[in-house]
């Protein structure tokens, strides 16, 4: 992402679980900020001070705060004029561990925590910058990449790429005014159906979270269906590392809009956590996240998303799911106005530059996106 005139470049997380755009500014003098690229407003001729204060507290106890400002931003060839964003003067570490400078929320305006402002996506639509009011996502797996993990995947602003999925796209209506939340019909592990309470049938589809989170009862039922899984009160669920090379249990399958979308159980094994032939599971309970034990719904992060092709439709307020094609070029692409299907101005998206801004389950789970997905 580029901000200002002349442009200053930053790396950001594209996060459908939040709605705010923020980056560190030169007023942030902490050691954390010194490791990141910081926006210098005095070097931009198009900068306008807003002055309103903002603050966000994340689930990992990190905090960012500062003041609001306006400037022109550019993402994959799309220029948004007078975008309001947060200049962080305090950043206690929410993105610094992975070298990512900030966050670009892809949620709804109603979910903004920095104030009554339009999101970048809203302004792309209002300023007539994209053909369709949608964002499509294709995420790669580390196992399908080179050793540099340079092919992280694609976000396409304003369209879909038919070469990345197999028809049809199944659309499911959003059930929340604030979140990308949908209803789950059923869940299976292999041929065994897991019982869903009415509350647990709601799921948020979140590109800004790496794992899958279940309410405690469902996380327990899921792992008990895996032979020899174990629970640790400090670290959560462990599964045999051998599960990474086995299909004996079957897949984790979600039924959405009457269609089945699966996650192979080999993907839930965090191999770099191996200890005595056991590995941490990438599916856990909200109970393991301090202050979130009362959560009753489901969060489907990149563990789920990387196994599908996902389309976020802002106008019709629905999410589309299709069978993913396993090979694709990395990058951030767009369907700019009057260039539908062209996919112009592609830039590389590094999977190493990734952060889990809303869900970090302790130090044991704070790995880089590309390293375990």
Give the burial class of 42: count Cβ atoms within 10 A of its Cβ; 0-12 exposed, 13-18 middle, 19 or more buried: exposed
The answer, yes or no, to whether residue 349 has pLDDT greater than 70, is: no
Alpha helices in the chain (DSSP H): 31-34, 120-126, 216-224, 302-305, 369-372
The mean predicted confidence, pLDDT, of the chain is 86
Beta strands in 21-164 (DSSP E): 21-24, 48-57, 63-75, 78-91, 102-105, 134-139, 153-157
The reply to whether 15 belongs to the active site is: yes
The reply to whether 161 belongs to the active site is: no
Amino acid 142: pLDDT: 77
Query: Considering the entire predicted model, what is its pTM?
Result: 0.88
- 98 falls in which pLDDT band (50, 70, 90)? confident
Task: State the Cα angle at 208 between 207 and 211, rounded to 5°.
Answer: 80
The answer, yes or no, to whether residue 240 has pLDDT greater than 70, is: yes
- Closest Cα to residue 92, out of 67, 68, 57, 40? 57
**Average pLDDT in the 344-354 region?**
31
What's the pLDDT tens digit per position in 274-304?
999 999 999 999 876 655 556 789 999 999 9
What's the pLDDT tens digit per position in 33-75?
888 999 999 999 999 999 999 999 876 677 899 999 999 999 9
The structure tokens 């260039």 sit at: 339
Helix, strand and coil in the chain, % to nearest 5: 15, 40, 45
The answer, yes or no, to whether residue 31 has pLDDT greater than 60, is: yes
Higher pLDDT, 198 or 6: 6
Least confident range of 74-88, 222-236, 319-333, 352-366: 352-366
**Average pLDDT in the 138-153 region?**
77
**Average pLDDT in the 354-368 region?**
30
**Average pLDDT in the 73-94 region?**
91
The answer, yes or no, to whether residue 197 has pLDDT greater than 70, is: yes
Amino acid 301: pLDDT: 96
With a CB cutoff of 8 Å and minimum separation 6, the contacts of 253 are 187, 188, 189, 260, 261, 262, 263
Higher pLDDT, 262 or 349: 262
Amino acid 192: pLDDT: 96
Select which of 60, 161, 206, 284 is catalytic. Answer: 206
Identify the bridge partners of residue 182 per DSSP, sorted by sequence position. 203
The answer, yes or no, to whether residue 147 has pLDDT greater than 80, is: no
**Average pLDDT in the 99-113 region?**
94
Task: State what percent of residues in the chain have pLDDT above 90.
Answer: 70
Q: CA 232 to CA 163: how far, in whole Å?
A: 43
Structure tokens at 332: 């951030």
With a CB cutoff of 8 Å and minimum separation 6, the contacts of 34 are none
């Amino acid at each position: 992402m580029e901000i200002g005139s002349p442009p200053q470049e930053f790396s950001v997380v594209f996060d459908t679980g939040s709605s705010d755009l923020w980056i560190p500014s030169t007023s942030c003098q902490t050691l954390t900020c010194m490791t990141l690229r910081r926006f210098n407003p005095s070097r931009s001729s198009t900068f306008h001070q807003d002055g309103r204060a903002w603050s966000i507290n994340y689930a990992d106890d990190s905090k960012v705060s500062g003041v609001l400002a306006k400037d022109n931003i550019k993402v994959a060839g799309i220029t948004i004029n007078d975008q309001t964003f947060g200049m962080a003067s305090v950043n206690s570490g929410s993105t610094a561990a992975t070298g990512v400078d900030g966050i670009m929320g892809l949620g709804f305006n109603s979910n903004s925590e920095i104030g009554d402002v339009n999101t970048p996506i809203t302004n792309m639509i209002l300023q007539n910058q994209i053909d369709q009011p949608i964002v499509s996502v294709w995420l790669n797996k580390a196992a399908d990449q080179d050793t540099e993990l340079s092919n992280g995947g694609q976000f396409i602003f304003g369209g879909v790429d038919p070469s990345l999925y197999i028809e049809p796209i199944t659309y499911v209506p959003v059930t929340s005014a604030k979140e990308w939340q949908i209803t789950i019909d059923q869940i299976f592990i292999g041929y065994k159906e897991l019982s869903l309470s009415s509350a647990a049938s709601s799921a948020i589809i979140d590109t800004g979270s790496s794992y899958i989170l279940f309410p405690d009862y469902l996380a327990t039922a899921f792992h008990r269906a895996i032979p020899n899984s174990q629970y640790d009160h400090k670290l959560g669920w462990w599964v045999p590392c051998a599960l990474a090379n086995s299909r004996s249990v079957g897949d984790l399958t979600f039924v959405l809009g009457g269609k089945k979308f699966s996650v192979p159980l080999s993907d839930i094994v965090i191999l770099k956590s191996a200890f005595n032939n056991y590995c941490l599971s990438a599916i856990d309970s909200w109970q393991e996240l301090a202050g979130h034990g009362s959560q009753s719904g489901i969060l489907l992060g990149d563990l789920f998303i990387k196994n599908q092709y996902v389309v976020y439709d802002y106008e019709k307020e629905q999410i589309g799911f299709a069978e993913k094609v396993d090979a694709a070029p990395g990058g951030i692409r767009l369907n700019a106005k009057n260039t539908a299907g062209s996919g112009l101005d592609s830039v590389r998206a590094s999977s190493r530059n990734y952060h889990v801004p809303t869900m970090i389950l302790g130090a044991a789970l704070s790995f880089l996106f590309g390293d375990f997905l």
